A and B are shown apart, each in its own frame.
Chain A
């Protein structure tokens, strides 16, 4: 195995810049989805807890908002 020249024959900035951007893009996508999944799980947990409360004080969670509405 021969290690590649890290300076990439003078093109290091461009080569590593490209791969760094790719890494950032993929990590961003994975982390943002993980965050979205967690938020959904929390919302579901809250909804389950809500169902145990009397109907008059139930919280209805609608998309993107956490308005307290009584049904």
Chain B
């Protein structure tokens, strides 16, 4: 099978359409299961009371904000290096969802911070670097919107996206590098997580739901971008002819 033929936007368009329900339906189910476990099964935290339940949306949102940024930069980079249109379109499709999750993590973080720390916002290393992440997304989206020629917009966006990747490890390690108000990592790649099993289960289910949701919504947006750009390309050719 020639997989590379799907690198053409026109070929990938129907494939993306068929893929969407396979991600959207499980996403909806997992959101329901995750919220059920998070609110009905997981016990009240002995330190933070019920306020900790915000983390079931806050932590996945924060992770998605970071993951999607890296993914966006990789797609933008591939699109730039190999002149692959579909890859650049994918980067543009990811940006809005990544920005949405980053904003969600900042807002839910504020809702968490007020009762537990006594403040909505602090210029703490993790929060500040996450705010910068939101600005990077906004910058990427604005830059692409400001340039009329889509291929030039892709290249400019790619430079911004790739340079901005440096911010992601800063966010991740900020709680170790600096003495921050934000608490340290609860779940580590190596070693035991420091939370109760049902809490961890709910968190992981919500993370999976956010991933599936992201794939589905990004594919929907990608299809719109393919239509807009390919349509414009053919119409522009018509005008110039």
Where the two chains meet, the residues of A that have a C-beta atom closer than 8 Å to any C-beta of B are 1-5, 8-11, 14-15, 17-19, 21-22, 25-26, 29-30, 33, 36-37, 40, 43-44, 47, 60-63, 69, 71
Other than the given A8-B50, A25-B104, A60-B238, 8 more pairs (CB < 8 A) read: A1-B40, A14-B51, A22-B57, A26-B213, A40-B224, A60-B239, A63-B228, A71-B238
- The reply to whether B217 and A18 contact each other, CB–CB distance below 8 Å, is no
The answer to whether B66 has its CB under 8 Å from any CB of chain A is no
Query: Contacts of B51 on A, CB cut-off 8 Å?
Result: 8-9, 11, 14-15
Which range contains the number of B residues in contact with the other chain?
Answer: 35 or more
Query: Contacts of B58 on A, CB cut-off 8 Å?
Result: 18
Nearest 9 pairs between A and B by C-beta? A8-B50, A11-B51, A18-B108, A18-B111, A14-B111, A9-B49, A9-B50, A18-B54, A22-B57
Q: Which of these, A3, A33, A62, contacts B235 with CB under 8 Å?
A: A62
- The reply to whether B227 and A40 contact each other, CB–CB distance below 8 Å, is yes
- The reply to whether B220 and A14 contact each other, CB–CB distance below 8 Å, is no
Most buried by A among B44, B111, B115: B111
What is the bound-complex CA distance between A27 and B61, given in angstroms? 15
Q: List 13 A-B contacts (CB under 8 A).
A: A2-B40, A8-B53, A9-B49, A11-B49, A11-B50, A14-B111, A18-B58, A18-B108, A29-B217, A33-B221, A37-B223, A44-B227, A71-B239
Interface of A: prevailing SS: helix
- The reply to whether A17 and B111 contact each other, CB–CB distance below 8 Å, is yes
Query: Contacts of A5 on B, CB cut-off 8 Å?
Result: 50
Q: Which of these, B115, B217, B232, contacts A33 with CB under 8 Å?
A: B217
Interface of B: prevailing SS: helix
The answer to whether B142 has its CB under 8 Å from any CB of chain A is no
- The reply to whether B50 and A33 contact each other, CB–CB distance below 8 Å, is no
Where the two chains meet, the residues of B that have a C-beta atom closer than 8 Å to any C-beta of A are 39-40, 44, 49-51, 53-54, 57-58, 61, 96-97, 100, 103-104, 107-108, 111-112, 114-115, 213, 217, 220-221, 223-224, 227-228, 231-232, 235-236, 238-239
- Known contacts A14-B112, A21-B104: A9-B57 contact under CB 8 Å: no
Query: Contacts of B96 on A, CB cut-off 8 Å?
Result: 29
- The smallest beta-carbon distance between A34 and chain B, in angstroms, is 9
- The reply to whether A36 and B224 contact each other, CB–CB distance below 8 Å, is yes
- Known contacts A8-B50, A15-B51, A15-B54: A21-B108 contact under CB 8 Å: yes
What is the bound-complex CA distance between A63 and B115, given in angstroms? 47
- Known contacts A4-B40, A15-B54, A18-B58: A37-B220 contact under CB 8 Å: yes
- The reply to whether B217 and A61 contact each other, CB–CB distance below 8 Å, is no
- The reply to whether B111 and A40 contact each other, CB–CB distance below 8 Å, is no
What is the bound-complex CA distance between A17 and B50, given in angstroms? 13
- The reply to whether A15 and B53 contact each other, CB–CB distance below 8 Å, is yes
Query: Contacts of A18 on B, CB cut-off 8 Å?
Result: 54, 57-58, 107-108, 111-112
What is the bound-complex CA distance between A62 and B148, given in angstroms? 11
